Amino acid sequence: MSGPCLSRRAVLLAGAGAALGALSGCRAEPASSAEDDPTELILRYAENQPDDYPTSKAARAFAERVAQRTGGRVKVVVYSGGELGAEQSVIEQMQFGGIDFARVSLSQLAGLQPSLNVLQLPYLYTDAAQMWRVLDGAIGDEFLLPLEDIDLVGLSWFDAGVRSFYTREKVVCLEELQGKAIRVQESDTMSEMVADMGLQPVQVVYSQVYAALHNGKIDGAENNWPSYEAMGHYEVAPYFLEDEHTRVPEIQIASKAAMEQLAALDVSFPGIIRSCARDSAIVERRLWAEREARAEENMRAWGVEVTPLSEQEKQKFRAAVQPLYEKFAQWAELIERIQEA
């Protein structure tokens, strides 16, 4: 696997020589000539969410901890709001060392590390507690370690909430969802999930979902409570079917090149980075839980009609997506370990 990755890296390097010169010039250099400034290395962190989002706040918490625990020798500068590019571009830049840290969506990495698609399977966990038992344990490490084969280093897991369906017209069960056009993420796994349920998957750019709901191009969509609130989708799709089909985490990653630089500066620094990343993940999860609870409370107060599913109805949803699980037969043992955790 390392052979193709090196070739990809070489191609990226060849195509971005001039840009890399500029990037490397601002990555690792003394921050100031001031005698009292201990900074020896400046590293960049890419975050595509706005400043007040839980992941951005956690990124700043990571940067603060790194500065504290390295005695100010390492400075991490956080660029939020997508300033350093879209997630896919950020990942590519990280592979050749142009960006040092980032928080990225699982779906963006799954194309490079196919086993990560397992974590996007619907109804994989019974609840959030089970998911964190899996991801914070040995199984989680098994997903992170192979990222080094693609010149990335997996550091920790962030929460991205639980996703459910919401619709323009009220539906209360799987039968009533049949045939409806539902917007899904740009993910083959999500499209297959919706199709297996008997729905019509429609891939719509996130920023256009409100308009698609408003003009009837789609009958519904699926997402978590904070996104549902933030994008105003409740105004045009006020019926929330709480099926909780996926709990897909996000990953905090480092470039392999950055970790090598850190080790060259001080052999203890890569371990410090990993520890700070785990600490910041705890911060993010707390912030996310608070935001998720607040969003749900706001939506219920606004008048969104929420339909929770009985266990019997949830079983119908789980049974409908079994064909998708059959396509993941090569990871059947891993899936079984996750579900038994």
pLDDT digits (tens, 9 = 90+) for 206-225: 889 999 999 999 999 999 99
State the Cα–Cα distance between residues 340 and 15, nearest whole angstrom. 46
pLDDT digits (tens, 9 = 90+) for 227-273: 999 899 999 999 999 999 999 899 999 999 999 999 999 999 999 99
pLDDT digits (tens, 9 = 90+) for 100-128: 999 998 888 988 999 999 999 999 998 99
CATH topology of domain 2-159+248-292: D-Maltodextrin-Binding Protein; domain 2 (3.40.190)
Q: Give strand pairing partners of 164.
A: 223
pLDDT digits (tens, 9 = 90+) for 276-300: 999 999 999 999 999 999 999 999 9
Q: Where are the domains of the chain?
A: 2-159+248-292, 162-247+297-331
What CATH number does domain 162-247+297-331 carry, 3.30.565.60, 3.40.190.170, 3.90.600.10, 3.90.1150.10?
Answer: 3.40.190.170
Show contacts of 31-37: CB within 8 Å, 24+ apart. 31/75, 37/72
Decide if 2-159+248-292 and 162-247+297-331 have a common fold: yes
187 pLDDT band, cuts 50/70/90, is confident
What percent of the chain is predicted at pLDDT more than 70?
A: 90
State the Cα–Cα distance between residues 79 and 50, nearest whole angstrom. 10
